[in-house]
Amino acid sequence: HFVCQKKYEAGDVQKQKMLKRLMKGMVLNYQQHWIIDNMPVALCYRNTENQEFCSRGFPVGCYVTKSGQSKESCNIRDGKNDTFYVFNHLDF
């Protein structure tokens, strides 16, 4: 389920540039690296071999390809193909 949604109007050139930059970052698997209370934020997930894997930082978002593929760290279940998901709400 979605916590919030943002819509970008096709006529707003500046916002379209920002949106394209964000989408490119998700396709290229850009990572955010946060420090909270002098400790690095990590993302843990189960990989394709069902082993828990943790890494420092977390993706800006996730792109599910037209064929339904995504990065392991996306952990998107029942996502729509050819869709971008922004990770803008986190639980600590």
Taking only the tens place, the pLDDT of each residue in 6-62 is 777 778 899 899 999 999 999 999 999 999 999 999 988 888 889 999 999 999 999
Give pLDDT, residue 36.
94
d(CA 84, CA 87): 10
How sure is the predictor about 68, in pLDDT bands with cuts at 50, 70 and 90? confident
Percent of the chain scoring above 70 in pLDDT: 97
| CB 86, CB 22: distance < 8 Å | yes
